[in-house]
């Protein structure tokens, strides 16, 4: 890998395994890197991996083979990116990697999702476990070969849940008979709690680890339908029954039994710490798990599987016996090498074990403490020492438990039901994964051996897939080496020097120990490359497995491998009085020639079972699912890199990557390659070359070798993509440098031009500044001269004005003084007169004002009290809608009173003012008279000096009057104060008046609103009453019809009923099928048809008419058959067949018949025509005819005994009335016939309604079937050919189809549909409904495909689909609302989704803006799906911001907790969007009277009445015209 500054790489990290980094420089032999966190590190070049920076822009790839650099960190971080977006499934070729989300994702596993993946090509849709299951099912059906799905992973990775989903999908596509009570999936899953209780235990890493392998085999018949199932178990860990290590646990069933309460007391059980087989570990409880509740679930599972209560009792007796058996201890006996029970406690447990096994206690003790050896001389009984007795005890416990587990599996298989004749199966393998603990013993050795075997099978499959890919592309792959792990398998299982063989050999010798076994291993495998000796132990060894090195402790290898089958044990328990225990040991082992102990190697038996499993898998086509546990805390959205990397190694994913690296790990289609690396050789792009030739020339131009060119892809060896990317980066860097150079030149020139322009501007400014300065100096000089002139003039004038003003002022002061003296004297006289007048006025007025103010104050206070009281009443009554009108009236009266009072106050004020003015004028006159008197008195004073004494007296009187006047002035001041108070009170009253007016306005407004609400409520109540009345009428009509039908059904003779009608099923009808129109009011009551006989039928008696009808039934059937089978056509837009059938039934009085033969004949004839005819011709034709016939029946028939439905008569001409009177013997003057129909006619109308719905459904389904392939090509933009400017294709090449042509096919399809429908005169009502459902299907198909295919969620594809939707919109506008209806609104989902794809600046949009403005119809889950799958292939922009994604994820997590199912896919609308009433209201009136008799039917005598009626109508028309 060539490195340079800026290269994107992966570097190892102690905490995160791998971190992204960028090359910053070089220091000697090391590379200086800057990690994503900003930390600088040094690393060697060979420890670095290249990284594609473009992959960081997207949410990862759905297939690892699409990675530009297929390496360990690339795989790890691709999974991390997808897991962050809740994309838990990822492909690696045909291998599926499933990361446990630890949260509910119900939208991924519902029926809609299964329907999408059903039959879809593998890899076309997003990765999913359903895709793997569907691929296995399709391969089985198409190739007839059994399949297998291998689900692996460590404990807690989700293997069991994945297995459930696979079985759920296989049950969905395979199905089973509907009569089965439970599906195979349910039956198999119901056995899970039982198998988990007896086969699962706590290990170091998982609280519920499966300690056995499970192979669920689902069997299919020749038609691909599920016919049975079976569960095969492998490799049960038997040693766990007797030996466990801390902190592990024994099997769950033991702890459940101890916590069972009464059952535990019955079997003398207690806490698990009291039993040797359980107390070897101090872990007795699991966090969050109740053993008592789990015991109840286990018993429930036993009931479901079909285990009887007696068998359940025996099972738990056996488990209790095993626990008691483990507490039996031995001590040395009196004889040499003998053993006896240690103490009383051991005797008690021995007795309990014997009682529970229902066998003899002494015989049980004898079988445990002795051994029988058979010789030629006879049988020798040898006593066992303490260790031998303990081994015998443990061997018995393991044997009993293993046989009990096998019995349970067999019982479950019998419950599920196997198909022994099945030739095709799909097996689902759920087995424990690779294990590497701190202390690894014999169990881990066996498990890892099994995983090595499965890994070899996996490697062969991966290599085979590689070969198939290379062969498909027709490239040379013969020299590619196959990477195998056969050397490890030979080291373990090869004879005679394999580890298992040496272990069995050591177990055969009683004196062997783990030291001698380890020494033998070291001597045999000293030079083996996969073998290592542990550094700090003499007995441990290390094996290099495919997933890494594992060190095994051999301390217990020999003990755990020995599994003695003791004949005495089998004989003892086979003779047990408990039938269940005896049945477990019904088949006795072959007796050894020398000893009752038959040695059985656990490892050898393990190898044999594993070999049987591999043989089963080799006969099937494998599919792989690798489950990954993202973290050890079992929490969502937590991704531990180191743990996952270890699981990827253990699951073989990295091994598959290694196999791919050995071949051609990088594969690109030619178009993708040219798109990415075409810039390396632009001269070839511009030339006339196809993409394959262009690719070859680019690679040869770069001097790359060992690449291969396939049919559709180019295959590159490991490292070559790095060379291409490096060269591409150099070209892009050079291009960037050239762009930078040009940009710097442009910037420099722009700066120079702007600087020069600035210099010119500065010079011009300086010159202007100097000129302005000179002009200012000259202007200031002229101004100074002008100012001096005016200042001198102003000074002289100012002096003159001062002298002149002083003279004038002096004169005016002298004249003013004399004048003021005269004025003051006159003023004193006038004041005295005025004072006298005012005093008299005040004396009278003060008394009046005081009285008036008191009255007004009292009135105001009383009115305020009344107003407050009334206001409280108004507030109390404001909430009562009934009192609002009264309040309104009261408020209006109060307003009138207040208005009247206000006017009264105004009039009083005006009168007071007038009185004041009159009084003032009177006082003025008095003052004038007093002035005259004063003048006379002055004259008298001047003339009569002798009257001074009199004048002195008068002066004293004047002084008294003056004091009185002063008092009067004080009173007047008080009056003024009172007047001010009155004014303030008046202002307060005005304010209160305005407040009351405002409140009145508000009350009036509220009253108006309440009145409006009351009116609306009354209107709603009226509507509800109308609806209730109509419903009551409909209900009464239906009850009467049902009553009549029941009566008719009882009256009809069994002989008159056709055998076919007895088998026919009456289809379900809409509730409005027989309901008359309530909106058409009857004008008069029509008589029964029997009383209205026209001249045509006059003279024919009832019996004769019936006889004539019965004489010609065959001819009638022939007429109806020809009318149905032949295309009679239309007249004036009316379907002739429907009108003729209706007229014939009317003439033949079929509606009054008690038989249904003729109606059944019509329905069967229509069904036959629909079955054999061309759908494009037959369905529209009969939709028009059947709906017309249904409308005629709906409008003209009524049940016997009920009033008919009337319509308004209208104004009809004489000719029309004559024609109507001649056309039908049962018509009134209003143009409507009213026929009393019997039960068969009503039933015929129901069957015809079902027929119309069936025709509509068939047309809709046929259109969807035709439309589906067209939509499949419209959802994704086709790859346009590269046609460059100035270059053209050779004449021999055909022009490529334009992208819009796919949508043109949709438009042509819709145009053809409209022509077909309108050509058959299908009513616009049906066309509108049909087109609406077609557009709903288009919306559903495009939207679901968009959400399931990542390549569709691109910017360019959004533009392509948007242009297609514009074409559809144009078609809808041209078609019109009459036929298109609301079709455009049906495309809401796809329109908003596409609109979201093509908008720019998505990262600036908030979640509220997206939900409210851009995509209001879409759910958060749908928006989240589009946002995470979106990638801009045109401009390279990014999707929504991380904050928006986090908000949506939080909302989805809340929804997952509240909802059981929340799919992001749309449902297909399969409903019938109309009822009989809708048809009747939507289709216009049809008059069947003017239908001409076709020439093909003119030869039948039973329809001649149609010709006669037509002639009579013509003659009557001529008479009227004349």
Catalytic positions, written as ranges: 155-156, 160, 206, 209-210, 433, 435
* Distance set, CA 62 to CA 54, 69, 88, 92 (Å): 15, 14, 10, 8
- The C-alpha angle with vertex 615 and arms to 610 and 619, in degrees rounded to 5, equals 145
Tokens for 961, please give them. 């009057």
Would you list the DSSP string of 693-750? HHHHHHHHHTT--S-EE-SSEEEE-TTHHHHHHHHHHHHHHHHHHHHHHHHHHHHHHH
Q: What is the 3-state secondary structure (H, E, C) of 200-254?
A: EECCCCCCCEECCEEEEEEEECCCCCEEEEEEEEECCCHHHHCCCCCCCCCEHHH
Phi-psi region of 882 (alpha: psi -120 to 50; beta: other; left: phi over 0): alpha
Backbone phi and psi for residue 370, each to the nearest 5 degrees, phi listed first: -135, 165
DSSP 901: H
**Three-state secondary-structure class, residue 1437:** coil
**Three-state secondary-structure class, residue 12:** strand
Given a contact cutoff of 8 angstroms between Cβ atoms, the answer to whether 484 and 462 are in contact is: no
Backbone phi and psi for residue 78, each to the nearest 5 degrees, phi listed first: -65, -45
Q: d(Cα 1471, Cα 809) in Å, to the nearest integer?
A: 113
Phi-psi region of 1201 (alpha: psi -120 to 50; beta: other; left: phi over 0): left
Q: d(Cα 1036, Cα 153) in Å, to the nearest integer?
A: 67
Would you list the DSSP string of 1289-1328? --TTSPPPPPTTHHHHHHHHHHHHHHHHHHHTT--HHHHH
Q: d(Cα 1260, Cα 1335) in Å, to the nearest integer?
A: 11
End-to-end CA gap in the chain: 106
Tokens for 1086, please give them. 């029509």
Tokens for 755, please give them. 């600087």
Q: d(Cα 687, Cα 1284) in Å, to the nearest integer?
A: 9
CB atoms closer than 10 angstroms to residue 82: 22
**Three-state secondary-structure class, residue 566:** strand
Rg (CA), the chain: 54
Would you list the DSSP string of 1139-1195? HHHHHHHHHTTGGG-S--HHHHHHHHHHHHHHHHS-HHHHHHHHHHHHHHHHHHHHH
- Count the helix, strand and coil residues of the chain and give each as a percent rounded to the nearest 5: 65, 10, 30
Contacts with 243 (C-beta within 8 Å, 6 or more apart), sequence order: 280, 394, 556, 559, 560
Contacts with 23 (C-beta within 8 Å, 6 or more apart), sequence order: 3, 4, 5, 6, 7, 9, 31, 32, 33
Given a contact cutoff of 8 angstroms between Cβ atoms, the answer to whether 1221 and 1094 are in contact is: yes
What is the dihedral sign for C-alpha 662, 665, 669, 671? Answer: negative
DSSP 1412: I
Tokens for 683, please give them. 């001269």
* Distance set, CA 1407 to CA 1235, 1299, 1358, 1443, 1448 (Å): 63, 33, 20, 9, 8
CA-wise closest residue to 357 among 300, 413, 407, 316: 316
């Amino acid at each position: 890998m060539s490195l340079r500054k800026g290269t994107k790489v992966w570097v190892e990290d102690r905490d995160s395994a791998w971190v992204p980094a960028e090359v910053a420089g070089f220091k000697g032999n090391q590379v200086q890197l800057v990690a994503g966190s900003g930390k600088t590190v040094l690393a060697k070049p060979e420890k670095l991996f290249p990284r594609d920076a473009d992959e960081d822009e997207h949410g990862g790839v759905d297939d690892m083979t699409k990675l530009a650099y297929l390496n360990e960190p690339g795989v790890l971080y691709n999974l991390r990116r997808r897991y962050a977006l809740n994309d838990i499934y990822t492909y690696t070729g045909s291998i599926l990697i499933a990361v446990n989300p630890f949260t509910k994702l119900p939208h991924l596993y519902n029926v809609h999702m299964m329907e999408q993946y059903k039959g879809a090509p593998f890899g076309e849709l997003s990765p999913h476990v359903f895709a793997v299951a569907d691929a296995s099912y399709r391969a089985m059906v198409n190739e007839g070969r059994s399949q297998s799905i291998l689900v692996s992973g460590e404990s807690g990775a989700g293997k069991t849940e994945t297995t459930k989903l696979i079985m759920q999908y296989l049950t969905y596509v395979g199905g089973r008979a509907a009569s089965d009570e439970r599906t195979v999936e349910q039956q198999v899953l119901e056995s899970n709690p039982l198998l988990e209780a007896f086969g699962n235990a706590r290990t170091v890493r998982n609280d519920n680890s499966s300690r056995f392998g499970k192979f669920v085999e689902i069997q299919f018949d020749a038609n691909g339908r599920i016919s049975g199932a079976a569960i095969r178990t492998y490799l049960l860990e038997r040693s766990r029954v007797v030996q466990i290590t801390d902190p592990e646990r024994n099997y769950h069933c033991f702890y459940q039994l101890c916590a069972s309460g009464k059952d535990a007391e019955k079997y003398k059980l207690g806490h698990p710490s009291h039993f040797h087989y359980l107390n070897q570990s101090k872990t007795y409880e699991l966090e969050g798990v109740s053993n008592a509740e789990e015991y109840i679930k286990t018993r429930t599972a036993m009931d479901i599987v079909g285990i009887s209560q007696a068998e359940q009792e025996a099972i738990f007796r056996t488990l209790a016996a095993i626990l008691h058996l483990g507490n039996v201890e031995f001590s040395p006996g009196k004889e040499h090498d003998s053993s006896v029970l240690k103490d009383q406690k051991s005797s008690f447990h021995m007795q309990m074990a014997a009682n529970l096994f229902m066998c003899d206690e002494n015989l049980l003790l004898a079988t445990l403490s002795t051994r029988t050896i058979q010789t030629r001389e006879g049988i020798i009984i040898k006593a066992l020492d303490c260790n031998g007795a303990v081994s015998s005890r443990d061997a018995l416990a393991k044997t009993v438990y293993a046989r009990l587990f096998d019995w349970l599996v067999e019982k479950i298989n019998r419950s599920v039901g196997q198909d022994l004749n099945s030739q095709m199966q799909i097996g689902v393998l759920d087995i424990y994964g690779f294990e590497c603990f701190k202390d690894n013993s014999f169990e881990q050795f066996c498990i890892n051996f099994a995983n090595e075997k499965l890994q070899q099978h996996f490697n062969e499959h991966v290599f085979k897939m590689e070969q198939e890919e290379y062969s498909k592309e027709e490239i040379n792959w013969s020299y590619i080496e196959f990477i195998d792990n056969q050397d490890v398998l030979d080291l373990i299982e090869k004879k005679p020097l394999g580890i298992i063989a040496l272990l069995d050999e050591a177990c055969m010798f009683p004196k062997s120990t783990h030291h001698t076994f380890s020494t033998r291993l070291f001597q045999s495998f000293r030079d083996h490359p996969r073998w290592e000796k542990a550094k700090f132990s003499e007995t441990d060894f290390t094996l290099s497995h495919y997933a890494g090195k594992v060190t095994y402790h051999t301390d217990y290898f020999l003990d755990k491998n020995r599994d003695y089958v003791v004949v005495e044990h089998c004989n003892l328990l086979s003779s047990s009085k408990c039938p269940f225990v005896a049945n477990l040991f019904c088949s006795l082992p072959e007796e050894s020639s020398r000893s009752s102990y038959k040695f059985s190697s656990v490892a050898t038996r393990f190898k044999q079972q594993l070999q049987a499993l591999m043989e089963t898998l080799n006969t099937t086509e494998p599919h792989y699912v690798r489950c990954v546990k993202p973290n050890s805390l079992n929490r969502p959205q937590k991704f531990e890199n180191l743990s996952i990397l270890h699981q990827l190694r253990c699951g073989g994913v990295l091994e598959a990557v290694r196999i791919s690296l050995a071949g051609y790990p990088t594969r690109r289609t030619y178009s993708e390659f040219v798109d990415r690396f075409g810039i390396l050789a632009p001269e070839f792009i511009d030339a006339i070359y196809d993409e394959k030739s262009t690719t070859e020339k680019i690679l040869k131009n770069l001097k790359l070798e060992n690449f291969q060119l396939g049919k559709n892809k180019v295959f590159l060896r490991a490292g070559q993509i790095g060379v291409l990317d490096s060269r591409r980066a150099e070209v892009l860097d050079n291009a960037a440098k050239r762009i930078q150079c040009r940009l710097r030149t442009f910037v420099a020139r722009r700066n120079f031009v702007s600087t020069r322009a600035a210099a010119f501007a500065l010079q011009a400014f300086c010159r202007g500044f100097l000129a302005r300065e000179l002009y200012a100096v000259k202007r200031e000089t002229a101004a100074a001269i002008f100012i001096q002139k005016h200042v001198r003039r102003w000074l002289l004038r100012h002096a003159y004005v001062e002298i002149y003003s002083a003279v004038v002022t002096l004169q005016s002061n002298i004249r003013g003084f004399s004048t003021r003296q005269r004025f003051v004297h006159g003023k004193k006289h006038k004041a005295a007169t005025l004072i006298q007048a005012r005093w008299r006025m005040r004396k009278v007025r003060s008394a009046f004002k005081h009285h008036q103010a008191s009255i007004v104050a009292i009135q105001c206070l009383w009115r305020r009290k009344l107003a407050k009281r009334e206001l409280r009443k108004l507030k109390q009554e404001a909430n009562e809608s009934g009192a609002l009108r009264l309040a309104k009236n009261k408020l209006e009266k109060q307003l009138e009173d207040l208005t009247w009072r206000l006017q009264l106050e105004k009039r009083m004020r005006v009168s007071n003012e007038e009185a004041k003015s009159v009084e003032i004028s009177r006082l003025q006159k008095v003052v004038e008279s007093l002035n005259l008197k004063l003048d006379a008195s002055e004259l008298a004073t001047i003339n009569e000096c002798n009257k001074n004494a009199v004048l002195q007296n008068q002066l004293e009187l004047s002084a008294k009057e003056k004091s009185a006047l002063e008092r009067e002035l004080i009173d007047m001041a008080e009056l003024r104060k009172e007047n001010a108070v009155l004014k303030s009170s008046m202002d307060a009253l005005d304010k209160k008046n305005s407040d009351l007016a405002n409140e009145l306005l508000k009350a009036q407004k509220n009253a108006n609103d309440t009145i409006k609400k009351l009116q609306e409520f009354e209107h709603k109540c009226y509507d509800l009453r109308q609806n209730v009345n109509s419903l009551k009428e409909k209900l009464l009509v239906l009850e009467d019809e049902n009553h009549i039908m029941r009566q008719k059904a009882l009256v009809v003779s069994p002989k008159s009923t056709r055998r076919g009608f007895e088998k026919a099923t009456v289809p379900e009808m809409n509730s409005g099928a027989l309901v008359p129109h309530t909106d058409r009011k009857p004008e008069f009551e029509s008589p029964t048809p029997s009383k209205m006989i026209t001249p045509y039928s006059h003279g024919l008696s009832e019996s004769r008419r019936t006889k004539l009808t019965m004489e010609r039934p065959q001819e009638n059937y022939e007429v109806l058959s020809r009318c149905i089978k032949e295309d009679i056509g239309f007249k004036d837009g009316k379907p002739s067949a429907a009108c003729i059938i209706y007229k014939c039934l009317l003439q033949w009085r079929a509606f009054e018949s008690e038989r249904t033969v003729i109606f059944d004949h019509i329905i069967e004839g229509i069904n036959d025509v629909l079955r054999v005819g061309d759908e494009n011709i037959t369905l529209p034709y009969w939709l028009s005819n059947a709906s017309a016939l249904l409308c005629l029946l709906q409008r003209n028939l009524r049940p016997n005994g009920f009033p008919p439905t009337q319509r308004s008569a209208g104004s009809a001409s004489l000719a029309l009335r004559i024609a109507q009177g001649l056309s039908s013997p049962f018509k009134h003057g209003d143009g409507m016939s009213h026929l009393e129909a019997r039960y068969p006619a009503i039933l015929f109308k129901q069957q015809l309604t079902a027929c119309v719905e069936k025709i509509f459904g068939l047309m809709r389904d046929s259109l969807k079937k035709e439309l589906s392939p067209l939509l499949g090509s419209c959802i994704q933009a086709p790859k346009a050919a590269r046609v460059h400017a100035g270059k053209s294709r050779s004449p021999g090449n055909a022009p490529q189809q334009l992208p819009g042509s796919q949508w043109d096919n949709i438009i042509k399809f819709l145009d053809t549909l409209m022509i077909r429908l309108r050509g058959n005169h299908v009513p616009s009502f049906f066309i509108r409904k049909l087109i609406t459902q077609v557009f709903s299907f288009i919306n559903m198909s495009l939207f679901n495909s968009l959400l399931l295919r990542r390549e569709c969620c691109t910017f360019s594809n959004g533009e392509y689909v948007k242009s297609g939707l514009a074409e559809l919109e144009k078609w809808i506008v041209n078609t019109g609302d009459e036929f298109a209806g609301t079709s455009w609104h049906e495309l809401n989902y796809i329109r908003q989704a596409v609109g979201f794809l093509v908008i720019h600046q998505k990262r600036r949009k908030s979640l509220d803006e997206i939900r409210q403005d851009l995509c209001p119809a879409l759910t958060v889950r749908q928006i989240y799906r589009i946002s995470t799958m979106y990638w801009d292939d045109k401009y390279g922009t990014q999707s929504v911001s991380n904050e928006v994604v986090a908000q949506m994820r939080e909302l989805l997590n809340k929804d997952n907790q509240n909802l059981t199912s929340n799919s992001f896919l749309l449902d297909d609308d399969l409903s019938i969007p109309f009822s009989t009433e809708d048809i009747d209201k939507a289709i216009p009136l049809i008059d069947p009277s003017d239908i001409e008799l076709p020439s093909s039917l003119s030869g039948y005598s039973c329809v001649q009445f149609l010709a006669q009626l037509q002639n009579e109508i013509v003659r009557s028309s001529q008479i009227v015209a004349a």
